[in-house]
């Protein structure tokens, strides 16, 4: 068979299966490549071998070559080590963003080129356009499945060598196509959560790498409410897993995480889901990444997401001399979390994004040990 022009990342799921099917239907010279990004830890929770068998079956049905690469070492160094360091620091990282940047659109792309391919393709719900000599990342047509949020760290080199064959489809149509084509993955359940944790208990998994360090749970006024197993197991806005029973003198209402003091090992909670202690209108980021290679302007208006599947939020953006950005929202935002990704949009176009470093939420401001980044106005 001739050298494939496109290598499809086949994950063993229905999305990548239909991506491969569509390219075959278009007459492309295609091959599939399965990436193993996590070494089996012996827990029995890793589904990689099942997924690999499904990927082999899909490639066999489509009559395309199958390739395998083990990127577990690269994943550990480029994604998981950072994941652990962020949690240990009390932040909440987004490993899917790093996985795309460090593995799927770096090592996978390199492997595809070594196999002689010109481009890679994946089953992401996103689209690519070329306008005015620039490559643009666009939202997927199915807004409920759009994955551009996780792809905002891609640049011109990656987009010029990438295809998203299912970006124009919605999930219902995709399932129908898979069923009609007889793809063995057509009814397979979508994977959810972080790939290396899978269906297992998050706290139990993280506890293997970050030993439990119990401490006190306080309300924002400092009253002791209970005990926690470790502040790094929790994230802002979280309700589940606090195990706070009836508290004398307090209503029988749910508690929500509103802050973390890692240095003092204190977790802060409140009974108001929309607690003012975790509301913010201003945030500051680490160095931003721009898909076009540079920001649209020093100051501009756009929309933003501070978490996946969040509705668009209007904001004004100021780019600092060091490459970070300061974002002011048109209305208060709940539980904006340091370590997570801020992703910026102009309509359907993803402009880029950055890791959130700090917000002006009242409790975060009170707990911050160093001077506030908001005290120096981005003039």
| Choice among 46, 59, 99, 315 that is catalytic | 99
The answer on 18 and 166 residing in a single domain is yes
* Number of structural domains found in the chain: 3
CA–CA dist 32, 10 (Å, integer): 6
Give SS3 for 326. Answer: strand
The answer on 85 and 225 residing in a single domain is no
Q: What is the CATH number for 121?
A: 3.40.50.620
> Tens-of-pLDDT digits for all 379 residues of the chain?
568 899 999 999 999 999 999 999 999 999 999 999 887 655 555 577 889 999 999 999 999 999 999 999 999 999 999 999 999 999 999 999 999 999 999 999 999 999 999 999 999 999 999 999 999 999 999 999 999 999 999 999 999 999 999 999 999 999 999 999 999 999 888 876 666 666 667 888 888 898 889 999 999 999 999 999 999 999 999 998 898 988 888 988 999 999 999 999 999 999 999 999 999 999 999 999 999 999 999 999 999 999 998 999 999 999 999 999 999 999 999 999 999 999 999 999 999 999 999 999 999 999 887 667 766 444 3
Domain range for 81: 6-180
**Predicted local confidence at residue 271, as pLDDT:** 95
The answer on 139 and 29 residing in a single domain is yes
The answer on 74 and 35 residing in a single domain is yes
pTM assigned to the model: 0.93
The answer on 307 and 174 residing in a single domain is no
Residue 261: alpha-carbon gap to chain centroid: 24
Would you say 134 and 156 are in contact if contact means Cβ atoms under 8 Å apart? yes
Whether residue 374 is contained in a domain is answered as: no
Whether residue 204 is contained in a domain is answered as: no
Whether residue 376 is contained in a domain is answered as: no
The answer on 241 and 103 residing in a single domain is no
Whether residue 378 is contained in a domain is answered as: no
Say how many C-beta atoms besides its own lie within 10 A of residue 208's C-beta. 9
Q: Using CA of residue 12, residue 16, residue 18, residue 19, what is the dihedral sign?
A: negative
The answer on 156 and 26 residing in a single domain is yes
The answer on 220 and 260 residing in a single domain is yes
The answer on 224 and 130 residing in a single domain is no
In sequence order, the β-bridge partners of residue 218 are: 224, 268
Would you say 55 and 61 are in contact if contact means Cβ atoms under 8 Å apart? no
**Predicted local confidence at residue 39, as pLDDT:** 76
The answer on 306 and 173 residing in a single domain is no
The answer on 154 and 18 residing in a single domain is yes
**Predicted local confidence at residue 128, as pLDDT:** 98
**Predicted local confidence at residue 192, as pLDDT:** 65
Whether residue 197 is contained in a domain is answered as: no
CA–CA dist 365, 40 (Å, integer): 41
Among residues 252, 270, 288, the one where a domain terminates is: 270
Among residues 132, 164, 180, the one where a domain terminates is: 180
Would you say 255 and 267 are in contact if contact means Cβ atoms under 8 Å apart? no
Among residues 180, 203, 228, the one where a domain terminates is: 180
CA–CA dist 105, 92 (Å, integer): 23
Length of the chain equals 379
Whether residue 190 is contained in a domain is answered as: no
Active site (annotated) includes residue 99: yes
User: CA angle, corner 71, sides to 65 and 72, nearest 5?
Assistant: 135
Whether residue 199 is contained in a domain is answered as: no
The answer on 295 and 153 residing in a single domain is no
Q: What is the CATH number for 241?
A: 2.30.30.280
DSSP conformational letter for 256:
E
Q: What is the CATH number for 295?
A: 2.40.30.10
In sequence order, the β-bridge partners of residue 256 are: 270
| Choice among 195, 302, 315, 350 that is catalytic | 195
Whether residue 24 is contained in a domain is answered as: yes
């Amino acid at each position: 068979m001739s050298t494939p022009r496109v290598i499809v990342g086949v994950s063993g799921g229905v999305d990548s299966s239909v991506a491969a099917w569509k390219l075959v239907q278009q007459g492309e010279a295609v091959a599939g490549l399965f990436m193993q990004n996590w070494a089996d830890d012996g827990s029995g929770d890793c589904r990689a071998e099942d997924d690999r068998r499904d990927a082999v079956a899909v490639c066999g049905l489509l009559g395309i070559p199958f390739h395998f690469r083990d990127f577990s070492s690269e994943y550990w160094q480029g994604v998981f080590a950072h994941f652990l360091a962020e949690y240990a620091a009390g932040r909440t990282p987004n490993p899917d963003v790093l996985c795309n940047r460090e593995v799927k659109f770096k090592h996978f792309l390199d492997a595809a080129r070594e196999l002689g391919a010109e481009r890679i393709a994946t089953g992401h719900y996103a689209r690519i356009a070329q306008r005015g000599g620039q490559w643009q990342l666009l939202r997927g047509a199915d807004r409920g499945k759009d994955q551009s949020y996780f792809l905002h760290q891609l640049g011109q080199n990656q987009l010029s060598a990438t295809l998203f064959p299912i970006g124009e489809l919605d999930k219902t149509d995709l399932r129908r196509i898979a069923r009609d084509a007889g793809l063995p993955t057509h009814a397979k359940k979508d994977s959810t959560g972080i790939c290396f944790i899978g269906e297992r208990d998050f706290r139990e998994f993280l506890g293997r790498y970050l030993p439990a360090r119990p401490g006190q749970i306080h309300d924002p006024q400092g009253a002791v409410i209970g005990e926690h197993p470790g502040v790094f197991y929790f994230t802002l806005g979280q309700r589940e897993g606090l195990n706070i029973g009836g508290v004398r003198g307090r209503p029988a209402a749910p508690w929500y995480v509103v802050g973390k003091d890692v240095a003092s090992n204190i977790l802060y909670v409140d009974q108001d889901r929309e607690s003012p202690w975790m509301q913010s209108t201003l945030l500051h980021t680490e160095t931003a990444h721009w898909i076009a290679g540079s920001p649209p302007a020093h100051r501009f208006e756009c929309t933003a997401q501070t978490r996946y599947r969040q509705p668009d939020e209007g904001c004004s953006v100021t780019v600092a001399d060091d490459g970070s950005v300061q974002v002011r929202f048109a209305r208060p935002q709940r539980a904006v979390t340091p370590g997570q990704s801020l992703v910026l949009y102009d309509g359907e176009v993803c402009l880029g994004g950055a890791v959130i470093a700090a917000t002006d939420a009242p409790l975060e401001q009170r707990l911050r040990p160093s001077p506030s980044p908001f005290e120096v106005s981005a003039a």
